[in-house]
Chain A
Amino acid sequence: MNLAQIQRAVFEVIRQPLTPSQHLRPRLPDGRSTRRIADAIIKPNARLASHERLEIYNQQYWFRILSSFAEDFPGLRGLIGVRRFDKLSVAYLNENPSHTFTLRNIGANLESWLRRHPEFAPGVHRMAIDMVRVEWAEIEAFDGQELPRISKEQLAGLSGDTAFRLQPHLHMLELAYPIDDLLFRVRRAEHSMVSNAVRKSAPRGKVRKASLPRAQKTYLVVYRLQDMVYFKRLTREAFVLLGALGKGKSLGEALQASMPKSPAKVEAFRKRVRAWFENWASLGWLAK
């Protein structure tokens, strides 16, 4: 075996999910014995057999990625409950090993994966997808790029040809549920549990079914201001306009698309637009 072959074989073994009692699985998915693979590659010592030495790395691999993943998606865990979340974590991470140098990106494929796997969120699938989108957007907003903002003078001198860029850290989410409320509730519940200091790492409870939100279209912006990540809900009208600007349309084109048909309503619309822009600029959303 050359270096590449040894590394591929070892990696295949250590990235296999642990058994329920957190040990090395006896077999790979293709049926090969992990003990045999370990024996062929790893030297035993007086205290540990070859596969037991490899098991240390197998455990470390999973403990590390599971704890990082759990830190990123507390809202999803609160929504589906700890036991389902644990199963989901192993299944997702098994199919989606990390592809970048940083664990920050470990949840990057979770939304698309969960869309294909409703069985991990029975009864709350759509809500769970919304939750994942919000939690992932928070991660992206936290350390995304910030471009120079447009100034007040530039905002005053707007014309129909003006094109904006939205801040790269800003994420626009059209949600089926008001999931931001639920996320805050889960967080509050977690904090009060931690401060009681009784069961520091004990399983946290699941959100009660009766208290789950009803479906309600929600237009959410996740963004960063002065190093903190915030959520802001928009009306559909404002969301559509901001979205058009984000796609690179000029101000004129974007307004055209959302302008009311009835001439009587145009003046009020213009007023609203003016107020939105002032607000968006003050929140730093608009970049040159």
Chain B
Amino acid sequence: MPANRFNGNSDYGVGIGLRVPHYRHIFEKKPVVSWFEIISENFMVDGGLPLKNLDQILERYRVVQHGVSMYFGSAEPLNRDHLKRLKALVKRTHTPWLTDHLCWGSVDGRYSHDLLPIPYTFEAARRAAQKIRQVRDFLEVPIAVENVSSYAEFHVSEMTEWEFLNEVVERADCGILLDVNNIYVSSRNHDFNPYDYLNSVSAERVAQIHIAGHSKFQKYLLDTHDHAVIDPVWGLYARAIERAGPTPTLLEWDDRIPSFNEVHHEALKAKRYFPAELKAAS
């Protein structure tokens, strides 16, 4: 896998998200998996079963940390306690890079636990980039930010989402966790061409790619991670690989989770889009 400075120059292949219903299979069958992505917050606890399970995984597998609550886009300052807990976990996992979303979700210390879209303004880009730098300096690990699915747009926006993403990552000098399913969902919700987005992203900054399934409602798509990947999203994935080169890739499946083998099999379809010499590897 092509490595870059945004993913710790690592050569990770196709991984899946570590989920509780799969623990037993993983511990008993010890399947070969290139790497697991963990949700950091699930392991930022003081003790007990979550950490014991994680340690057992770490004995055998490579793990990358993915967060859901850093909220780089929230106007308020970072939470110190949160950062300290996260750093303790980084020391435990030795994650070569760390990801979280380019979104906001908290106001005055109250948490929405959602991934809310940022108004695409220069003010917001400056603020997010500043926070990304602070987090990287504190955690001492490369950071990549993920584009989210969204259902609303703001009147005050001064640029497109992809221009905003580029503005932030260049100001922060950080990586991108490119979620091609999120690009697809947002393109349908906001009536843009997903290839315009994909073709504009700074390809050299892509540290990781997410693939996932979503749900279709009458008037919008919702990012639910409870389905297989649909063909148009594989199409976007193919284009992303064309532009960024084979990149550490991860399938997210968070709800109505099928068996480990089913999820892993779905993830490995990503290899179809790799150059021939890499298909057999990883």
**A129 interface contact, C-beta 8 A:** no
**A65 interface contact, C-beta 8 A:** yes
Tell whether A43 pairs with B155 under 8 Å between CB atoms, given A10-B116, A64-B114, A227-B52.
Answer: yes
Tell whether A56 pairs with B116 under 8 Å between CB atoms, given A41-B155, A99-B111, A146-B47.
Answer: no
Q: B-facing mask of A88-103, CB < 8 A → 1, else 0?
A: 0000000001111111
- Residues on B with beta carbons closer than 8 Å to the beta carbon of A2: 75, 123
Q: Report yes or no: A227 in contact with B111, Cβ–Cβ below 8 A.
A: no
Q: Report yes or no: B152 in contact with A97, Cβ–Cβ below 8 A.
A: no
**B121 interface contact, C-beta 8 A:** yes
**A165 interface contact, C-beta 8 A:** no
- The CB with the most chain B CB atoms within 10 A, among A2, A60, A101, is that of A101
> How many residues from A make CB contacts under 8 Å with B?
46
- Residues on A with beta carbons closer than 8 Å to the beta carbon of B123: 2-3
Those of B141-188 within 8 Å (CB) of chain A: 151-156
Question: In the bound complex, how far is the Cα of B191 from the Cα of A204, in angstroms?
Answer: 42
Those of A34-51 within 8 Å (CB) of chain B: 40-43, 45-48, 50
Q: A-facing mask of B104-144, CB < 8 A → 1, else 0?
A: 10011111111010010101100100000000000000000
Question: Of all chain B residues, which has the CB nearest A56?
Answer: B151
**B69 interface contact, C-beta 8 A:** yes
Q: How far is the CB of B152 from chain A (nearest CB, A)?
A: 4
Those of A132-167 within 8 Å (CB) of chain B: 142-146
**A1 interface contact, C-beta 8 A:** yes
**A277 interface contact, C-beta 8 A:** no
- Residues on A with beta carbons closer than 8 Å to the beta carbon of B45: 104, 143
Q: How far is the CB of A29 from chain B (nearest CB, A)?
A: 16
Looking at the complex, which one of B109, B119, B151 makes contact with A3 (CB distance below 8 Å)? B119
Question: In the bound complex, how far is the Cα of B109 from the Cα of A3, in angstroms?
Answer: 16
Q: How far is the CB of B84 from chain A (nearest CB, A)?
A: 12
Q: Report yes or no: B76 in contact with A4, Cβ–Cβ below 8 A.
A: yes
- Residues on B with beta carbons closer than 8 Å to the beta carbon of A7: 74-75, 104, 107, 116
Q: Report yes or no: B113 in contact with A143, Cβ–Cβ below 8 A.
A: no
- Residues on B with beta carbons closer than 8 Å to the beta carbon of A56: 151-152, 220, 222
Q: Report yes or no: B116 in contact with A6, Cβ–Cβ below 8 A.
A: no
Question: In the bound complex, how far is the Cα of B111 from the Cα of A11, in angstroms?
Answer: 9
- Residues on B with beta carbons closer than 8 Å to the beta carbon of A99: 109-111
- Residues on B with beta carbons closer than 8 Å to the beta carbon of A60: 114
Q: How far is the CB of A169 from chain B (nearest CB, A)?
A: 7
Those of B46-85 within 8 Å (CB) of chain A: 46-52, 69, 74-76, 79, 82
Looking at the complex, which one of A8, A45, A53, A146 makes contact with B191 (CB distance below 8 Å)? A45
Tell whether A54 pairs with B152 under 8 Å between CB atoms, given A3-B127, A11-B112, A99-B109.
Answer: yes
Tell whether A3 pairs with B121 under 8 Å between CB atoms, given A61-B112, A64-B113, A227-B52.
Answer: yes
**A57 interface contact, C-beta 8 A:** yes
Q: How far is the CB of A236 from chain B (nearest CB, A)?
A: 29
Q: Report yes or no: A144 in contact with B104, Cβ–Cβ below 8 A.
A: no
Question: In the bound complex, how far is the Cα of B50 from the Cα of A145, in angstroms?
Answer: 12
Looking at the complex, which one of A14, A15, A40, A47 makes contact with B219 (CB distance below 8 Å)? A47
**B190 interface contact, C-beta 8 A:** yes
**A224 interface contact, C-beta 8 A:** yes
Q: Report yes or no: B82 in contact with A101, Cβ–Cβ below 8 A.
A: yes
Looking at the complex, which one of B48, B74, B156, B190 makes contact with A142 (CB distance below 8 Å)? B48
Question: Of all chain B residues, which has the CB nearest A147?
Answer: B47
- Residues on A with beta carbons closer than 8 Å to the beta carbon of B47: 143-146, 169
- The CB with the most chain B CB atoms within 10 A, among A48, A54, A57, is that of A57
- Residues on A with beta carbons closer than 8 Å to the beta carbon of B48: 142-144, 146, 169, 224, 227
Tell whether A48 pairs with B220 under 8 Å between CB atoms, given A41-B155, A42-B153, A57-B151.
Answer: yes
- Residues on B with beta carbons closer than 8 Å to the beta carbon of A42: 152-155
Q: How far is the CB of B218 from chain A (nearest CB, A)?
A: 8
Q: Report yes or no: B154 in contact with A142, Cβ–Cβ below 8 A.
A: no
- Residues on A with beta carbons closer than 8 Å to the beta carbon of B50: 143
Looking at the complex, which one of A15, A45, A168 makes contact with B190 (CB distance below 8 Å)? A45
Q: How far is the CB of A90 from chain B (nearest CB, A)?
A: 16
Those of A1-24 within 8 Å (CB) of chain B: 1-4, 6-8, 10-11, 14-15
Q: Report yes or no: A43 in contact with B116, Cβ–Cβ below 8 A.
A: no
Q: Report yes or no: A14 in contact with B52, Cβ–Cβ below 8 A.
A: no
Q: How far is the CB of B201 from chain A (nearest CB, A)?
A: 23
- Residues on B with beta carbons closer than 8 Å to the beta carbon of A15: 110, 112
Q: Report yes or no: B114 in contact with A6, Cβ–Cβ below 8 A.
A: no
**B189 interface contact, C-beta 8 A:** yes
- The CB with the most chain B CB atoms within 10 A, among A15, A45, A46, is that of A45
Question: In the bound complex, how far is the Cα of B156 from the Cα of A42, in angstroms?
Answer: 9
Interface residues, chain A, with chain B CB atoms under 8 Å away: 1-4, 6-8, 10-11, 14-15, 40-43, 45-48, 50, 52-54, 56-57, 60-61, 64-65, 97-104, 142-146, 168-169, 224, 227
Q: List 9 A-B contacts (CB under 8 A).
A: A11-B107, A11-B112, A40-B155, A48-B219, A56-B222, A60-B114, A101-B41, A143-B45, A145-B47
| In the complex, the 10 A-B pairs of residues with the closest C-beta atoms, listed nearest first | A4-B75, A143-B45, A145-B46, A101-B69, A143-B48, A53-B152, A227-B49, A47-B219, A11-B107, A98-B111
